[in-house]
Structure 1
Amino acid sequence: MSLSPASTEVIRATLPAVGAAIEDITALFYPKMFAAHPELERDLFNRGNQKQGQQQKALAGAVAAFATLQVSADSPRTDLIMSRIANKHASLGITADQYEIVHKYLFEAIVEVLGEAVTPEVAAAWDEVYWLMADTLIAMERSLYTSAGVPEGQVWRDVRISRRVLQSAETVTFVLSPADGSSLPSYRPGQYISVAVTLPDGARQIRQYSLVGTPSATDWQISVKAVPADGSGAPAGEVSNFLYDNVFEGDSLQVSLPFGDLVLEEDDAPLLLVSAGIGCTPMIGMLNHLATTEDRRRVSVLHADRSPSRHAHRAELTELVQRIPFATMHRWYENLGNREEFGTTHLGRADLSTIEIEAGTQVYLCGPMPFMLAVRDSLLDRQVPAEAIHYEVFGPDSWTATV
């Protein structure tokens, strides 16, 4: 599917004006939608991201990027953006009828912000952009539901906490077993599940967590980092803190089926796995798979963290790298305490300048957005192709407008 020629010309002409106003439009859109549908804010959207404005910026970036790609005919980048959004939506159980709700309040906001500039011709062209984007996502999500063997949106199941393992002072791993004794669906290394919890105020909030263990029909494993308020204005981790403080062996959780398009490809390309903080979790899932299958390709593992004591899966990372025949590891810590730098453990921030990167290497990134953008720039400077750099974002994807 593609834009009609007439709409393409209108979008090309109006994109600068709409792009300049898109954050104002989305900032108005969300309050309008939540006023009419408070259940969406309470039970579906991430309240923390709403308070910070991150969700608004991510939606603005996605809409503007999609419209831009329609007039530049860049199908690979369009597919990348849509796949990432569709997997996130599927993990939330999004259904086709919800796109009608978004359409109504988004276009009310567009008209309110742009006023008389929204002629019938302009409105029709941007309506076409929206439904092209929506229909693309609906089709992708329908395919994901079909592949998972479930009706549209029916992704949720109950699991029981069979074990709780402390990974660091602020991170815990939950081992999840099927509550009804059935088998758990398989997943690809790097994928995640959504976890839905009912908070003390009655809100149902949902977050995504990478699957860190080896794929198994009897249990899944996720790691959760508690995120207290740090005084910077960023909110505390509402769901992560609830899980860390309140969920123990024998308790039940509602989780989604596995989704996510940051998956380890089964080929012989050299791998560079780069992470920071709790962004290590998809890499731990990939490394568990590589170790279990005795993979013999070259694997370079780079991780950055605040300190060894705050590095979740620190011992497991070392053990997994040792089990993979051609794997090497480098770690950077901002604070080593009384320890000195030794071997492949370094003081300071991650530095890729001395890391050997073979031709054909596939790079996987996960961590705070500033970290990933800095790593990407470093890789591009070293002539690593952009299409070889893959990433995961838990939360609004502000990378979208830059890829």
Structure 2
Amino acid sequence: MLSEQSAPVVRATLPVVGAAIGEITGRFYSRLFAAHPELLRDVFNRGNQANGEQRQALAGSIAAFATALLEHPETRPDAMLSRIAHKHAALGVTSEQYKIVHEHLFAAIVEVLGEAVTPEVAAAWDEVYWLMANALIAIEAGLYRDAGVPEGASWRPMVVAERHEETPDAVSLVLRRPDGTPAGAFKPGQYVSVQVELPDGARQIRQYSLSAAPGGSDWRITVKRVRGGEGPEGEVSAWLHAHALPGDELSVSAPFGDLVLPTGDTPLLLASAGIGTTPMLSMLDHLAATGATRPVTVVHADRTPADHAHRAQQHTLAKALPGAALHLWYESEGEGELPEGARLGQADLDEVPLPEGVVAYLCGPLPFMRAVRGELLRRGVPAADIHYEVFGPDLWLGEAA
């Protein structure tokens, strides 16, 4: 909660800071990487820096947090903080790095806003920063503790035991500990980070959902190759597609992620598009493995049946669940035929029966999730019962948190 002296100052200056936050975050990253080039080389996603998405995500999180402090002073935006903390833990972020961020962020604020940053204004926004930073540090400490690893040290060697070409652009990798012991527990829907050394010496990190149920001795991730187009080519996905072969060793984090399958008998909607099927597949696999009978509505949209990663397994798992219904949409047939019951076009939840009390889990491109979330809200599903996962910087924080 903001102090009595800081709250009115933040309220008065939020429009000014909000209007300049994009420029502030741009200056911040320029300063940060000039002082600490190793962070861009080995921690931050260089592709997201190049296309500006990381700056947008940081700006959105700061604005959303400050707004929440003013509009709901009696509560803390834990859903938003948890999502950020899981991403940070998966990258190995440490509490000391928040001091570095503070230094360069506030220098950027002064550079952009100049004389408007009076001592009173600086003190108020300093309070906002440390309220957010200390909350994240506490959550991340708990995540590291639960994972059984020291702060920032969740990396472990994993061997590629199997490789399967799922689609022309998606490959699945079965990961195993070098000594053959079980890979470790995780919750259905979670992800791991994979760190690879690129030709220029950078050690870039990306997150990939675990795409099979927990409980076995191995993990499985499914990697979609990010091809150049409107944005940069995916450095890590391209490397894994080209170089990750059975017998190779990868550096992999402990599992993290807050989009996880809930326990109980609550009806579920698992809605995905494209490679967003991966966390949903882990949930479906777990439900089938545990003999769940709860109602499960599965929705998936893709470009063509040939582009639908793990299509046959998703169909098999849905059929194995007595309370499940599978709904598929494809933009076109491609070179094959539509699977039985699949429809052409964009996913349309108007055609999908939803049980009362359904809790929704969404994963896929932002336009898909926005459309599905909007339809669910129109149909009376409470916003608190709609959960989502974004692959990459969360540009939806201020909108859906």
Which TM-score band (shorter chain)? over 0.9
- Kept after mapping to 1: 8 A contact 2:159/2:247: yes
- Kept after mapping to 2: 8 A contact 1:69/1:75: no
Q: Give the C-alpha shift of residue 182 in structure 1.
A: 3.0
Distance (Å, rounded) in 1 between the aligned partners of 2:334 and 2:276: 22
Aligned to 1:145: 144
- Contiguous gaps of at least 5 residues in structure 1: none
Q: Give the C-alpha shift of residue 384 in structure 1.
A: 1.0
After superposing the two structures, state which structure 1 stretch, 89-98 or 334-343, moved more: 334-343
Q: Supply the AA of the counterpart residue of 1:349.
A: Q
Q: Give the C-alpha shift of residue 150 in structure 1.
A: 1.2
Q: Supply the AA of the counterpart residue of 1:377.
A: G
Distance (Å, rounded) in 1 between the aligned partners of 2:228 and 2:197: 20
Aligned to 1:105: 104
Q: Supply the AA of the counterpart residue of 2:385.
A: A
Q: Deviations over 1:212-252 (max 9, x none)?
A: 1121352100000112213x3x1111111110111100000
Aligned to 1:69: 68
Distance (Å, rounded) in 2 between the aligned partners of 1:205 and 1:167: 24
Instruction: Within 5 Å, give how 1:325-340 maps onto structure 2.
Output: 325-337=322-334
Q: Give the C-alpha shift of residue 183 in structure 1.
A: 2.8
**Are residue 284 (structure 1) and residue 278 (structure 2) matched?**
no
Q: Supply the AA of the counterpart residue of 2:19.
A: A
Aligned to 2:33: 34
Aligned to 1:130: 129
Aligned to 1:242: 239
Match of 1:271 among 268, 271, 276: 268
Structure 1 pair 76/220, CA: closer, same or farther in 2 (3 Å)? farther
Q: Give the C-alpha shift of residue 85 in structure 1.
A: 0.4
Q: Supply the AA of the counterpart residue of 2:391.
A: F
Q: Give the C-alpha shift of residue 73 in structure 1.
A: 1.5
Q: Supply the AA of the counterpart residue of 1:365.
A: L
Aligned to 1:360: 357
Distance (Å, rounded) in 1 between the aligned partners of 2:346 and 2:244: 34
TM-score relative to the length of structure 2: 0.97
Aligned to 1:228: 227
Q: Supply the AA of the counterpart residue of 1:226.
A: R
Q: Give the C-alpha shift of residue 374 in structure 1.
A: 1.4
Aligned to 1:318: 315
Q: Give the C-alpha shift of residue 344 in structure 1.
A: 2.6
Q: Give the C-alpha shift of residue 358 in structure 1.
A: 1.7
Aligned to 2:342: 345
Distance (Å, rounded) in 2 between the aligned partners of 1:185 and 1:140: 21
Distance (Å, rounded) in 2 between the aligned partners of 1:344 and 1:279: 21
Q: Give the C-alpha shift of residue 364 in structure 1.
A: 0.4
Match of 1:255 among 231, 252, 255: 252
- Contiguous gaps of at least 5 residues in structure 2: none
Q: Supply the AA of the counterpart residue of 2:171.
A: V
Distance (Å, rounded) in 1 between the aligned partners of 2:339 and 2:217: 39
**Are residue 56 (structure 1) and residue 55 (structure 2) matched?**
yes
Distance (Å, rounded) in 2 between the aligned partners of 1:241 and 1:76: 43
After superposing the two structures, state which structure 1 stretch, 144-153 or 71-80, moved more: 71-80
Q: Give the C-alpha shift of residue 93 in structure 1.
A: 0.9
- Kept after mapping to 1: 8 A contact 2:172/2:223: yes
- Kept after mapping to 2: 8 A contact 1:304/1:350: yes
Q: Give the C-alpha shift of residue 206 in structure 1.
A: 0.4
Runs (4+) off by over 4 Å: 74-77, 338-343
**Are residue 298 (structure 1) and residue 295 (structure 2) matched?**
yes
Q: Give the C-alpha shift of residue 390 in structure 1.
A: 0.4
- Kept after mapping to 1: 8 A contact 2:305/2:339: no
Q: Give the C-alpha shift of residue 181 in structure 1.
A: 2.9
Q: Secondary structure of the equivalent of 2:270?
A: strand
Q: Secondary structure of the equivalent of 2:291?
A: coil
Distance (Å, rounded) in 1 between the aligned partners of 2:76 and 2:264: 22
Q: Deviations over 1:35-61 (max 9, x none)?
A: 000000000000000000000000000
Distance (Å, rounded) in 1 between the aligned partners of 2:264 and 2:36: 46
Structure 1 pair 283/119, CA: closer, same or farther in 2 (3 Å)? same
Q: Supply the AA of the counterpart residue of 1:13.
A: A
TM-score relative to the length of structure 1: 0.97
Distance (Å, rounded) in 2 between the aligned partners of 1:198 and 1:5: 49
Distance (Å, rounded) in 2 between the aligned partners of 1:77 and 1:388: 18
Q: Give the C-alpha shift of residue 180 in structure 1.
A: 2.8
Distance (Å, rounded) in 1 between the aligned partners of 2:192 and 2:339: 37
Aligned to 1:190: 189
Instruction: Give the fraction of aligned pairs with identical amino acids, expressed as a percent.
Output: 57
